[in-house]
Amino acid sequence: MIKKIVIAIVCMASVGMCAQNGTVSPYSFFGIGDLRTSSTVENQMMGHMGVYADSIHLNLQNPAAYGKLGLEVMDKVGLVAYTAGISNKQFRLKSFTEEENTSITNLDYLSLGFSLGKGLGMGFGIMPYSSVGYNFVDERTSGGQALRNIFSGEGDLTRVYYSLGYEIFKDISLGVTVNYNYGTLNNERLQQIEDIQFGTFDRRYSEVNGFDFNYALLYTPTIKEDHTLHTSIRVNTQGNLVSKNERNIGSFSVATGGNIENIDVNLDASNLRNTEFKIPTTTTLGLGYGEDYKWFLGAEYSFQGLSSFENPFLGSGNIDYKDASSIALGGFLTPNANSFNSYFNRITYRAGVRLDRTGMVVNDVDINNFGITFGLGLPLGRSFSNLNIGFELGRRGTTRANLIEESYFKVNIGLSLNDRWFQKRKID
């Protein structure tokens, strides 16, 4: 069983690793790029909420949920849970005058979790943290001549994490996740003037790394026999990322694209060789109610003091930051998880909705994101394992103020696989 699970996860990882860059959004030009989701497909289908926790699924957003892992299903025999997810995202990028369609496929996460004993669980894994991937053109007239700026960027920050959760009292669990983020970001601007045979370039490179921590409290008292109240508080502490920077400027031939002059800028003189990204603290409050393994309905609210964020090395004059927030609603329904006669009754149906006020203000316009999520959890045999298929429809940005409106359709596929570990053989 474990061999089959490992093969399946490796295959999914190979598909994701051979995919394109992590995003194609023009809004990844700002900050440290597009922040990627840190939730499993199951949670994404419920509006990306992390308040719900049970004993058979990993919850990558809420480390306190590891304290529930295996509690109700394995008795004294430990549970090991494997989960992996990939996604394909179809984009429609629309300006006031033009429209373009594109798509991208990614590995979203690869994680393992273990029950270490009653009320104690741990997990670790790898996932993308943020992605830069944009290419757009800004054309205008300056001094009677056509001026063309071509902006492009690529790169990813990857996150490896370790989580620990423990049920300190009945129905009360605490958890902590240590995240280490690392990667490189590359940004380039090419400038061309009409009827001039040479253009100029400005290329900037950043090697980024640093830690942040996610603390969580989960309170799940039983109400009316099998009904449970789910409440959680999560605090993702300020991320202190250090960036080692390089910058090259020079000129190139418009006809051939070859460099004419290449100058390595002395960043030490401007104190920009090593800079810091301070990603402000995010606090998330969650509340939900449901019947275990049958139905659940919940809501979450997150807020972040993003107004204090700045990128001194890549500072752009057309963006400001203000405090960010998001609200999510979602839930699931499983008609009868123990049904022998109907497979459809054992399927888990999930849906949700979310609204993100990203905190980015570009050209004096707020950039917001709205998404609708839904999907299915398909049982694999009579085990606790399942295949999850999710969908997300959303829109970010606007065509106002010469900006880009993103409409997207995302398809998620995730495996949630379970097995027993340290189980004694009955027959040698």
CA 20 from centre of chain: 16
Task: Please give the share of the chain, as a percent, with pLDDT higher than 70.
Answer: 90
Span 209-217, average pLDDT = 97
Identify whether the C-beta of residue 298 lies closer than 8 Å to the C-beta of residue 327.
no
> What pLDDT does 421 receive?
55
Q: What is the 3-state secondary structure (H, E, C) of 194-234?
A: CCCCEEEEEEEEEEEEEEEEEEEEEECCEECCCEEEEEEEE
- Is residue 229 scored above 70 in pLDDT? yes
Question: 191 pLDDT band (50/70/90 cuts)?
Answer: very high
> What pLDDT does 195 receive?
85
Structure-model confidence comparison of residues 115 and 283, the more confident one: 283
Residue with tokens 């996604």: 87
Taking the whole predicted model, whether its pTM rises above 0.85 is answered as yes
Structure-model confidence comparison of residues 246 and 68, the more confident one: 246
Tell me the per-residue pLDDT of 330-339, one tens digit each, with 9 for 90 and over.
999 999 988 8
> What pLDDT does 385 receive?
87
- Is residue 360 scored above 90 in pLDDT? yes
Q: What is the dihedral of CA 107, 108, 110, 112, to 10 degrees?
A: -160
> What pLDDT does 11 receive?
54
Domains, in order of start, for the chain: 2-185+194-199+213-239+278-421 (2.40.160.60)
- The CA-atom distances, in angstroms, between 187 and each of 20, 156, 358 are 17, 12, 22
CA neighbor of 375 nearest in space, from 330, 418, 419, 340: 330
> What pLDDT does 6 receive?
47
Cβ–Cβ contacts within 10 Å for residue 262, how many?
12
Span 239-254, average pLDDT = 94
Size of the chain, expressed as the number of residues it contains: 428
DSSP state at residue 271: T
Task: Please give the share of the chain, as a percent, with pLDDT higher than 90.
Answer: 71
Pairing, β 99-117 against β 78-94? antiparallel
Residue 389 pairs with which residues in a beta bridge? 376, 413
